[in-house]
C-alpha cells in the first residue's frame, strides 16, 4: 500500500499512473491526488487535509479519522523538511503533489484499515530552478 501511494504521487503525470490506479481500485482502496504550492507550512497541511475530506477519503465528522490522517500528513512533511518542520520561516518554498490512499490490509496482524500519505515535489528558494526534489511518506492505522 505504501508503494502504491508513493508511485501514485511520483507517476502522477505519466501514463503508467493508470496501472497504479487500476491496482488501487482492484484492491478496493480509496485514493486521491492533489497539488499544493506554498511557503506557508499550514497551507500544505490544510490542503492535504481538505482534499482528503472533500474526496471522502476520511470522514470529516469523525475525529478518529481526522486524527489518523493528521499524523500521517505530519510524518510525510518530516520527510520533505529533513530535520526542520519549517518552510517559509527558513526561506523555503515547496511545490508538492500529494497522494492519499486508504484501505484494508489483511495479512498477519494488520486486519483493518490503514491510511498513507505521500508528498513529492520540489523544495527550494522562491526562484525558478533554485529548488530540488523532495519526498515524504506517512502511514497510520485508521
Q: Contact residues for its own copies (CB under 8 A)?
A: 1-3, 6-7, 10-11, 16, 41-42, 45-46, 49, 61-64, 66-68, 70-71, 74-75, 77-79, 82-86, 88-91, 107-112, 114, 116, 118, 120, 124-125, 128-130, 132-142
C-beta closer to its own copies: residue 27 or 89? 89
Name the minimum Å distance from CB 34 to its own copies.
16
Closer Cβ to its own copies, 21 or 49, answer by number: 49
CA distance linking residue 59 with residue 127, whole number of Å: 38
Secondary structure element (H or E) that encloses residue 77, with its range = helix 63-81
Shortest distance (Å) from residue 111 CB to its own copies: 6
Taking CA atoms, 141 is separated from 63, 95, 111, in Å, by: 13, 27, 10
Distance CA 67, CA 97 (A): 22
> Least distance in Å: CB of 11 to its own copies?
8
Q: Minimum distance from CB of 32 to its own copies (Å)? A: 18
Amino acid at each position: 500500500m505504501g508503494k502504491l501511494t508513493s508511485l501514485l504521487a511520483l507517476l502522477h503525470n505519466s501514463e503508467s499512473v493508470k496501472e497504479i490506479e487500476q491496482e488501487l481500485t482492484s484492491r478496493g482502496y480509496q485514493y486521491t491526488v492533489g497539488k499544493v504550492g506554498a511557503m506557508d507550512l499550514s497551507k500544505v497541511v490544510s490542503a492535504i487535509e481538505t482534499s482528503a475530506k472533500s474526496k471522502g477519503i476520511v470522514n470529516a465528522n469523525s475525529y478518529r479519522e481526522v486524527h489518523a490522517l493528521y499524523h500521517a500528513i505530519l510524518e510525510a512533511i518530516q520527510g520533505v523538511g529533513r530535520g526542520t518542520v519549517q518552510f517559509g520561516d527558513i526561506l523555503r518554498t515547496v511545490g508538492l503533489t500529494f497522494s492519499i490512499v486508504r484501505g484494508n490490509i489483511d495479512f498477519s496482524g494488520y486486519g483493518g484499515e490503514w491510511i498513507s500519505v505521500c508528498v513529492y515535489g520540489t523544495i527550494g528558494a522562491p526562484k525558478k530552478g533554485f529548488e530540488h526534489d523532495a519526498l515524504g511518506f506517512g502511514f497510520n492505522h485508521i
